[in-house]
Structure 1
Amino acid sequence: MRRPLARSLTALVAAALLLPAVAACDTEPAGLVIYSGRNEGLVGPLIEKLEDKLGTNVDVRYGDSAELAAQILEEGDKTEAGLFLSQDAGALGALSKESRLVALPQAVLDKVAPAHRGSGGDWVGVSGRVRVLAYNPDKVAKAPDTVHDLVKPEWKGKIAYAPTNASFQAFVTGMRVLEGDDATRTWLKGLKANAKAYESNLDVLKSVDEGETSVGLLNHYYWFEKVAEEGEDKVKAKIHFLPGGDPGALVNVAGVGKLKGSSKSESAYAQKAVDFLLSAEAQKYFNDETKEYPLAAGVKSTVEGLPPLESLQAPKIDLGKLDSLKQTLAMLQDVGMV
């Protein structure tokens, strides 16, 4: 009677020992955890390509870039993430300021122009977008050459903008860096008096295209995506790239940085991920799928009608200084925009 019981216990122990192995197969830990401020619909296919390249699991936590940066700061060295993919430079600048990013190899930094990477050598841009003015040629012969004209009386009721959009808020932060808080606050008050607020850049472009407004502030790729989908002959709106280093011509970037606190193996995967995002394959993805500017050396935009990045007269600004989003939000609240 004892022998069968022994065999049963042996079987139970063996089964118990097998359970963790089975569970591990079902819940294999990720080789790399990425916090992504870029949405899944946009970068999901690129993450799948990255996972194949790395030969390991990649776990992505999606969210707002500023909120994810705040989470990383709160987690400190205990963060699970090895890589931060940000929608904008400001969130990366905030992490760099608090020394939460790992210095990148010079060979990697050299792939991206200094204007499109962190001055501390710990993050790089992977795709670029420029602020432009969309305009309806049936309403106005041409758009202004400076956003400062938009606060003049003749533009009252003719402007569309999206004050709660992250790209608009980054632009305002850039204006604060370039021209100071007082001048920016005054401009915002003038814009609010003249403009109509919309929820998104897509709504801004729609408003201008349909003639509801004459001019709209947005990022360039919204217009190029619309043209690619509908045909340029079906799109009434045109876009104007502002000259002379105007704050309205800000070139912002989506970028990536390796996080401190990750394991040695995860750090190695994170570096390979940075390399992949700067590869011709990934750069072409941003060019083809989002109509953004490739930023890696040797990769040029092939989007028809998009002027070369080096030809743009963008304001000279350290993009890492776009990290003061809280102050910008406070200013937007103060003038009644958000």
Structure 2
Amino acid sequence: MPRPSVRRGAALAMSALLLPVLAACGGSQDDKKEKDAAKQGSDELVIYSGRNEELIDPILDKLEKATGTKVEVRYGDSAELAAQILEEGDRTKAGLFFSQDAGALGALSQAGMLSKLPQKSLDKVDAAFRGGQDDWVGVSGRSRVIAYNPEKTEKVPDSIHELTKPEWKGKVGYAPTNASFQAFVTGMRVLEGDEATLKWLKALKANGAKPYAKNGVVLDAVDSGEVSVGLINHYYWYEKVAEVGADKVNAKIHFLPGGDSGALINAAGVGVLKDGGQTEAAEKAVDYLLSEDAQKYFADVTKEYPLAAGVTSSVKDLPALDSLDAPEIDLGKLESLQETLEMLKEAGMV
């Protein structure tokens, strides 16, 4: 299965420069309609995937075999791929967008780029993890948690707001350039407002919080005692335990109570591109990703929460999804990433 990766930065910038030229040479609207009509019944599907290639390639191989669909994938950053789809407009080559987080899907929904999904597909997933316009659906979930080292601290914070207190000066690790941290900040903006969020970000930085490149590096820093606590997604800890054994991992994780902003549950999800001309193949792909086979892959291999009804995780000691005290939020409102990036710059974090 051909899988040309979309490189971040230069390649995306180059494609953005070429797109207007390609559009101008694309032929008439009648030609496009004929091409779309031919594609609708085809067994080929182009997926733009914001999910990591190493992580997601195995399940897309299974999707291809299960649906009889020839799949081609472009990999890249979710926000950048969403921007590319918006740039391509009605000439997009993508039939399905597989996003790392709900925000990028929300941006495409707001722009009217996604098709409404069949009700039978939507009904498999709780409304909290679906788009408000019924045009995207979550396939796996992950909770924000606080990782901590019991050898470095006896107290574990119950709120991210505690991390700006003097007792945590220089003891907190975070990944400000990572998409999951940025999605969390966007969620905090939705839940608490821009003023409160900016104040918290500035206070966190002023308190000596240590920046790292990725969630996994934050966890390693907590595990080694370089910092006492860190802000990560839950599955990094479960992956590390599965890889090296629980007795080899010093760090623990804490699921925050009380609907705290730091307990956001975000969803990786999919949407069918309205102008991709691959609706039939894309809808088959959506149904496969919500099948028991695919859901167990997300649960058992990537250690995320399966979101389709009736599928539960077998990961040892993972709290049930419905037991988590997460904040109530419309995940589609996480689309304002640009405003979040500007806020992080203002706070001196990126």
Q: TM-score, normalised by structure 1?
A: 0.90
Give the length in aligned residue pairs.
308
How far apart, in 2, do the equivalents of 1:268 and 1:199 lie?
A: 39
The alignment-based identity, stated in percent, is 70
Larger radius of gyration: 1
Q: Is the 8 A contact 2:67 2:288 kept in 1?
A: no
Determine if the alignment matches structure 1 residue 331 to structure 2 residue 340: no
Q: What is the match of residue 188 of structure 1? A: 201
Residue pair 1:30, 1:59 contacting (<8 A) in 2 also: no
> What amino acid is aligned across from residue 188 of structure 1 in structure 2?
L
| Partners of 1:135 and 1:142 within 8 A in 2 | no
Q: Is the contact between residue 134 and residue 216 of structure 1 (CA under 8 Å) also seen in structure 2?
A: yes
Q: Paired residue for 1:234? A: 248
C-alpha contact 2:218 2:232 (8 A) present in aligned 1: yes
- 1:102, distance to aligned residue in structure 2 (A): 0.3
Q: 1:265-304 alignment to 2 at 5 Å?
A: 266-304=278-316
Mapped to 2, the partners of 1:30 and 1:164 lie a distance apart of 38
Alpha-carbon shift at residue 262 of structure 1 (Å) = 2.5
Deviation, structure 1 residue 32: 0.6
Distance 2:85 2:155 in 1: 44
Q: Secondary structure at the match of 1:290?
A: coil
Measured in 2, the distance between the counterparts of 1:285 and 1:318 equals: 26
| Residue type at the aligned position of 2:84 | Q
Q: Residues 174-323 of structure 1: matches in 2 within 5 Å?
A: 174-194=187-207, 195-263=209-277, 266-323=278-335
Tell me the secondary structure at the aligned position of residue 310 of structure 1.
helix
Name the SS of the counterpart of 2:202 in structure 1.
Answer: helix
Q: How does 1:109-188 map to 2 (within 5 A)?
A: 109-188=122-201
Residue in 2 aligned with 1:48?
61
State the shift of 1:106 in Å: 1.3
Counterpart of 2:27? Answer: none
Between stretches 136-145 and 308-317, larger displacement belongs to: 136-145
Shift of 1:30: 7.4
Give me the CA root mean square deviation: 1.0
Query: How far has the Cα of 1:36 moved from its partner?
Result: 0.3
Give distance in 2, aligned partners of 1:52 and 1:106. 24
Taking structure 2 as the reference length, what is the TM-score of the superposition?
0.87
Q: d(CA) in 2 for partners of 1:139 and 1:46?
A: 39
**Residue of structure 2 in register with 1:33 after alignment:** 46
Residue pair 2:215, 2:236 contacting (<8 A) in 1 also: yes
Q: Partners in 1 of 2:66 and 2:331 — Cα distance?
A: 30
- Counterpart of 1:123 in structure 2: which amino acid? W
- Aligned partners of 1:101, 1:302: CA distance in 2, in Å? 33
Match of 2:82 in 1: 69
- The amino acid of 1:172's aligned partner reads V
